[in-house]
Chains A and B, each alone.
Chain A
């Protein structure tokens, strides 16, 4: 199925992803009148972001284990306009595939030097840059022998509450894509490709870290 200029988002009910069965809204959605003018913002104070928040490898006394990577990109609207001064938040598991969260019971080691949380504010061109380690794959119990492809969670605010986007960034050529219902809940293959970062040799830091580029595009806001 190819959607041209249509809604790229996954359906809320996608039974292969089991948790949607009891959580996808049952009451049919209704349109919010397009003339609502109060959805601009939120604008967040820059002071909420610390100097080292973009560097997930520098938040502890030592360096985390794993493959150090740079992840950078731009936040833009579908009309090409950059989205400056917007908060970008990321969270991820460590290189072994374990989240620093009490509910993560995967028997892989925690890393005392890795929390897995970062944030930054986009610059005037909508650019962001994180330094982190490549997250591992991990098992989950959605279906027999289910594994999540390696991914970094991204949360972007944008200019309007209706632009708010939470997504996951995947890595090129992951062999786990085919069996992952979250990745495949996006029905259009071309839209799925937009969630996969691009290896970026140019931004690689020699003798130090590989780099990946990941651009994020938000639907343009009609309220202006």
Chain B
């Protein structure tokens, strides 16, 4: 049996009313050993922040399995408190995105089959930057710093 797949549609501007899952920003609870904030902003093709996006993160690294979800605020900022793993799968949903876009956030620029297959400029868009309060991972949907997204 082969059933036809249901098509995607945009989350629209009001996904955040559905965000009743208040603690979804906390992949691990505060005070967990090794917990780090992974934070960033989302930008559109005009360089404006995207205040109505939702960023979801997924990690499966050995025993550790963690799902995170954060809406962006009026400054386009999102953030999840998590544990470091080699990388984090990152999905972005927003008004104007007819389907989510999928990328990866790496905590360091070491050899990796996915990273190594990218040109250097695209590769750099997947590397988080260390900050005083954790790691920074900005997402640019378009423009000179456009993030590399994956087909899936």
Task: Name A's B-contacting residues (CB within 8 A).
Answer: 5, 8-12, 14, 17, 19-27, 29-33, 36, 38-44, 48, 76-80, 89-91, 93, 99-101, 103-104, 115-117, 119, 153, 155, 161-162, 164-168, 182-183, 185-186, 190-192, 194-195, 215-219
Q: Does B17 have its Cβ within 8 Å of any Cβ on chain A?
A: yes
Instruction: Known pairs A9-B99, A20-B98, A153-B11; list 15 more (Cβ under 8 Å).
Output: A10-B99, A14-B98, A17-B96, A19-B10, A23-B50, A24-B98, A25-B101, A26-B45, A33-B113, A38-B59, A44-B67, A99-B17, A161-B58, A186-B7, A217-B3
* Cα of A90 to Cα of B17 in the assembled complex, Å: 10
Chain A contact surface mostly: loop
- Are A41 and B113 in contact (CB-based, < 8 A)? no
Across the interface, A11 reaches (CB within 8 A) one of B4, B98, B142, namely B98
State A60–B1 Cα separation when bound (angstroms): 43
**CB-based contact B18/A164 at 8 Å:** no
Complex Cα gap A12–B6 (Å): 16
A218, B3: Cα distance in complex, Å: 9
| Shortest CB distance A153–B (Å) | 7
A29 in complex: contacting residue of B44, B97, B151, CB < 8 Å:
B151
A23 and B91 contact, CB distance less than 8 A: no
State the total of A-B contacts with C-beta under 8 angstroms: 203
Contact A91 B18 (CB under 8 A): yes
Q: A8-B6, A104-B14 are in contact. Are A26 and B93 (CB under 8 A)?
A: no
Question: Contacting A23 at CB < 8 Å: which of B60, B97, B102, B117?
Answer: B97
Which residues of chain B come closer than 8 Å to A182, judged between CB atoms? 9-10, 98
From known contacts A26-B45, A29-B150, infer whether A218 and B14 are also in contact, taking CB-CB under 8 Å: no
Across the A-B interface, give the 3 residue pairs with the lowest CB-CB distance, nearest first.
A19-B96, A23-B96, A91-B18
Q: Is B5 an interface residue (CB 8 A)?
A: yes
A162 to B60, CA, bound (A): 13
Cβ contacts under 8 Å, B1 to chain A: 79-80
In the assembled complex, the Cα of A13 lies from the Cα of B131 at a distance in Å of 34
